[in-house]
Amino acid sequence: MDRELLKIALRNLHRRKVRTFFTMLGIIIAIASITALVSIAEGFQISISKTLQSTSNVIIVLPGMGASIWTIGTSTFNQSVVADLGKLGHVEAVNPVLVKFTVMEYRGWQIPVTVMGVIPRDAQRFYALTGPPLQRGQFMPQGSLFKAILGYSLANGRIQKEGGGYLNWAILPGQTIKLYGENGRPWEFKVSGSFQESGQSVIGGFIDTSVFVPLQALQAMYNEPGRISFIELWVDDVSFVEQVKHDVQKRLPSSTVITESQGVKTVFRIEKMLNNLLIGIGSIALFVGALGVINTLLTSVMERTREIGTYRALGAKKRFVLEMILLEGMMMTLIGGIIGFGFGILMAEIVVGLLRAKTPGLPGPVVDLRVVAVAFGVTLIIGLLASIYPAKKAAELNPAEAIRYIE
């Protein structure tokens, strides 16, 4: 590249600092938006992929044909089916669960919770394989009736109050809570332990915001003896998941059998669709930024008619003028893209930081080098396309224009 041409382009941009800045601002905002959105989405995708890998051995059995993980709690089936499923080959752990949505009371505070009724021995074995481990205390002893284990957020008061802020309590083993059963009757439970922070979703809510109680106790609270909402199976080898799924369907033809990975993949597809939608919105902003580049360069060409005409009158070729205007447009979009990319990363960190204050455990943004390459590639293409028409118009100016504009 001609060094003199580069100096002239830089000088022209510097002479119009304010206009150059506001032109770049559109590119900066567009690139920053796209970078922030894609980085946040990439962090979620990686987090979901890890969850998928850690839960790919899990099979979930739901009552009724066509049931889904989003309709838990609306129907139940008989607990007697559990014994048959535990005898299937490659099934290492079985965890029958009854789910209820109710209110937990502690020190005068009442908050909505998801209550999981589990068989202590079976649940302890299952969660030893899937996690999370205990943070405090011990698992509910087998045969206990009114003992409870709390999710991390409940045990540590990471629950937001209506007026803002957090409860910031610490419910320790040995303390008591109340759970409201059918007809609003309160039932007292002694806390035996609490889980470490999980951040991964389970059927009917989140482990971190759930209460786990003995299955028999929850059945009594809601007058549903022998009933369960779903069954979780842990397969000892992920390569046998589909085989076990087929065996379960043969044993329980009227049930819905899904793998944990199916639920995660569904969430992943929805997240990807939303991500594409947001990128589309960011692309509109990028298009608007390109229009700003075109407008600025056209205005610059009109204002510099005398200057450009003088170049031509002194023997400058059309190519020189064409390259000068193209270079100015490319430099504006490239500089704007670099600033926008850096600002986008900063925006992503700030947004995730603010969200973590309300939702602990959110994954951080991740910058994909492919995204970097695409962002700069798109920026350069837009700079080139936005500069072509103004550059062509400037190159075609008649040298006689210089004489007409001399004062």
Q: Which helix (H) or strand (E) holds 247?
A: helix 241-251
Indicate whether 354 pLDDT > 90: no
First to last CA, the chain: 34
From CA 265, how far away is CA 227, in angstroms rounded? Answer: 29
In 3D space, the residue among 291, 246, 213 whose CA is nearest the CA of residue 59 turns out to be 246
From CA 89, how far away is CA 84, in angstroms rounded? Answer: 11
Strand, helix or coil at 131? coil
Q: Sign of the CA dihedral 314, 319, 320, 325?
A: positive
Amino acid letter, residue 42: E
* Arithmetic mean of pLDDT over the chain: 80
Structure tokens at 132: 């999370």
- Give 339's Cβ-side CA count (13 Å radius): 15
Phi, psi of 76 (to 5 degrees): -140, 165
- Output b/e per residue, 129-141; b: 16+ Cβ within 10 A: ebebebebbebbe
Q: Which helix (H) or strand (E) holds 126?
A: helix 120-130
Phi, psi of 384 (to 5 degrees): -65, -50
CA dihedral 182, 183, 187, 193 (to 10 degrees): 40
Concatenated DSSP letters for 373-387?
A: HHHHHHHHHHHHHHH
Supply the DSSP symbol for 194. Answer: E
- Give the pLDDT score at 117: 96
Tell which wins on pLDDT, 117 or 157.
Answer: 117
- Which residues, in sequence order, are CB contacts of 149 under 8 Å at separation 6+? 134, 137, 139, 140, 191, 192, 193, 194, 195, 211, 212, 213
In 3D space, the residue among 13, 24, 2 whose CA is nearest the CA of residue 325 turns out to be 13
Max distance between CA atoms of the chain, in angstroms, equals 102
For 235-264, write each residue's pLDDT tens digit: 988 788 889 999 999 999 888 898 866 655
Structure tokens at 40: 């946040």
Indicate whether 281 pLDDT > 60: yes
Q: Omega before 399 cis (within 30°)?
A: no
User: Percent of the chain, pLDDT > 90?
Assistant: 29
pLDDT confidence of 289, banded at 50, 70, 90?
low
Residue 68 near residue 62, CB atoms below 8 Å: yes
From CA 24, how far away is CA 333, in angstroms rounded? Answer: 6
Strand, helix or coil at 170? coil
- Is pTM beyond 0.85? Reply is no
- Give the pLDDT score at 202: 44
Strand, helix or coil at 213? strand
Structure tokens at 10: 């830089």
- Give the pLDDT score at 146: 94
Supply the DSSP symbol for 160. Answer: B
Structure tokens at 332: 């504006």
- Give the pLDDT score at 334: 82
In 3D space, the residue among 47, 25, 37, 45 whose CA is nearest the CA of residue 375 turns out to be 37
For 38-83, write each residue's pLDDT tens digit: 788 777 777 766 666 566 788 999 998 776 666 676 788 899 989 8
From CA 42, how far away is CA 292, in angstroms rounded? Answer: 30
> Of the given ranges (132-136, 231-235, 328-332, 377-381), which has the lowest mean pLDDT?
377-381
From CA 158, how far away is CA 169, in angstroms rounded? Answer: 8
Indicate whether 93 pLDDT > 80: yes
